[in-house]
Amino acid sequence: MVKKAQFSILKGFWLLLFAYSCVLMAEITWRYHSFSLDANFLMIKQTEIESLWWYKYAFYLHVCTAILALPAGFTQFNSGLLKKYTQLHRRIGYVYVFSILGFAAPSGLLIGSVANGGLLAIISFEMLALGWFYFTFQAVRLAVQKKFNAHEDFMLRSFALTCSALTLRFWKVILVYLFQPNPMDLYQIIAWLGWVPNLLLIEFIIYRKNHKLSNDYDLSRS
């Protein structure tokens, strides 16, 4: 009874987190619905817009496709959806990987090359885009090979980087509130805080998951 209650609370927490994340990403994306070249963040990127013909296209491509990845990614780890609606799980997975591999990661690599914050921030955003593409591609490759445990591991890594869109903004609010850092220093810090802790946490979760699977396998053989 206690375990069932705990499961219900955890499930409710994830549903609330999912809903909040979708609303937040929709709100962030809506700021750019006019496709104006001076909307929100683009106000401080006028040099890039004027000197790089591709920047505005890459930026809006990134904004419009990255929003698909977050809600699609959340649903991929729903065991009920996976077991009861396998085809739906697969189709949402197609949306997730297509939005990342086809658009969001490549455009992120482009706009990351001229990120605010100097070389440290640029290196971070380029590593983020490359890692996002690599982990997602590996997840697809392993699914095709029917290596589903390894597929899940790489999907977790991919989704950890997908969530950087949220965690980066979370850390930005915290750091500005506590320390009021110089804007360029802030970009250098949140460029790394946005995704490195996510990936470390997921690696710990993957280790625990695989360690448990290994122990269960050993027990079944004894």
pLDDT tens track for 23-46: 877 887 888 888 888 887 898 899
Q: How is 62-106 classified by DSSP, letter by letter? A: HHHHHHHHHHHHHHTT-HHHHHH-HHHHHHHHHHHHHHIIIIIHH
Whole-number mean pLDDT of the chain? 87
pLDDT in tens, 102-139: 999 999 999 999 999 999 999 999 999 999 999 999 99
Domain ranges of the chain: 13-221
DSSP for 45-68, written as a single string: -HHHHHH-TTHHHHHHHHHHHHHH
pLDDT band at 196 (very low <50, low <70, confident <90, very high): very high
Gyration radius from the chain CA atoms: 19
The band of 99, judged by pLDDT with boundaries at 50, 70 and 90, is very high
Q: Would you say 127 and 119 are in contact if contact means Cβ atoms under 8 Å apart?
A: no
Of 89, 166, 101, residue with least CA distance to 129:
101
**Polymer length of the chain:** 222
Specify the pTM: 0.88
Query: Long-range contact list for 140-149, CB < 8 A, 24+ apart?
Result: 140/97, 140/101, 143/93, 149/210, 149/213
Mean pLDDT over residues 141-145, rounded? 96
